[in-house]
Amino acid sequence: MKYALITGASRGLGKAIALRLAKDGFAVVINYQSNREAAEDTLKQVEEAGGTGELLPFDVSDPKAIETALESWSTNHPDDYISVLVNNAGIRQDNLMVFMQEDQWNRVLDTTLNGFFYITRRLLKDMMTHRNGRIINMASLSGLKGLPGQTNYSAAKGALIGATKALAQEVAARKVTVNAIAPGFIATDMTKELDEAELKKLIPLGRFGKPEEVAALTSFLASDEAAYITGQVISINGGLYT
């Protein structure tokens, strides 16, 4: 059995990715922090589609909680390892820099950037030992071009892109690939408060993306067919920024 861990998989992009990877034959490990009801719904949909999954709650910004959860998982799966990691969990705390509070800065970086570090470091050794692994980091258009009101979010996602490129070079010899996906405006809970009608005018394809389209790209990067792709940042944004 091949296992894939998706952080922040109770809804939005994470949920779509979990459903797609389950369809691809992975046993999906569905991480969530607090919304157990939504996570259970994701698992239910995975199982109704004929897939296999399990829930693994922890806060991605808490290294002790991560260690406890992943150690428990390893104990329950002594002959297995997680070969695909999708670092998807992230939050927004938008504000103009001049008004931004320390907590808004720290929470965003703790979740996106430190979460990537804590979880990836913990799972990387097994991938390298087995000489097989896929690490897929969910970056953002904001991390590539910067967006006003998102200095914290842009900083976190931009740093994640740099980390992706560096780590890819460290682990390539062990046949572990590391790539990032940079979505533009995707129709999820995270973008529901945005003015979609106005923003669509800026997008050459004239619409927001679908979570399933990001999931399809994730599916490819997790597959054997993507074995020669590493250190890349792939945009999926309808042509908004190229």
Residue 67 has pLDDT above 70, yes or no: yes
Residue 75 lies in domain: 3-236
Secondary structure E strands in the chain: 3-6, 27-32, 52-57, 82-87, 133-138, 176-183, 233-236
Look over the chain and give the mean of its residue pLDDT values, rounded to a whole number. 96
Confidence of residue 84 (pLDDT cuts 50, 70, 90): very high
What's the farthest any 2 CA atoms get from each other in the chain?
A: 52
Residue 209 has pLDDT above 80, yes or no: yes
Q: Convert the pLDDT of each residue in 19-34 to its tens digit.
A: 999 999 999 999 999 9
The answer as to whether 78 is a domain residue is yes
Q: Convert the pLDDT of each residue in 85-141 to its tens digit.
A: 999 999 999 999 999 999 999 999 999 999 999 999 999 999 999 999 999 999 999
Confidence of residue 241 (pLDDT cuts 50, 70, 90): confident
Residue 242 is predicted with a pLDDT of 66
The answer as to whether 242 is a domain residue is no
CB 207 within 8 A of CB 197: no
Kindly state the average pLDDT of the residues 150-157. 97
CB 202 within 8 A of CB 7: no
When comparing pLDDT for 196 and 202, which is higher? Answer: 202
The answer as to whether 121 is a domain residue is yes
The answer as to whether 209 is a domain residue is yes
The answer as to whether 241 is a domain residue is no
CB 12 within 8 A of CB 215: no
Structurally, how many domains does the chain consist of? 1
Q: What CATH code is carried by the domain that includes residue 220? A: 3.40.50.720
Q: Convert the pLDDT of each residue in 183-198 to its tens digit.
A: 999 998 777 777 788 8
Structure tokens at 38: 């939504």
The answer as to whether 54 is a domain residue is yes
Q: Which residues are catalytic?
A: 153
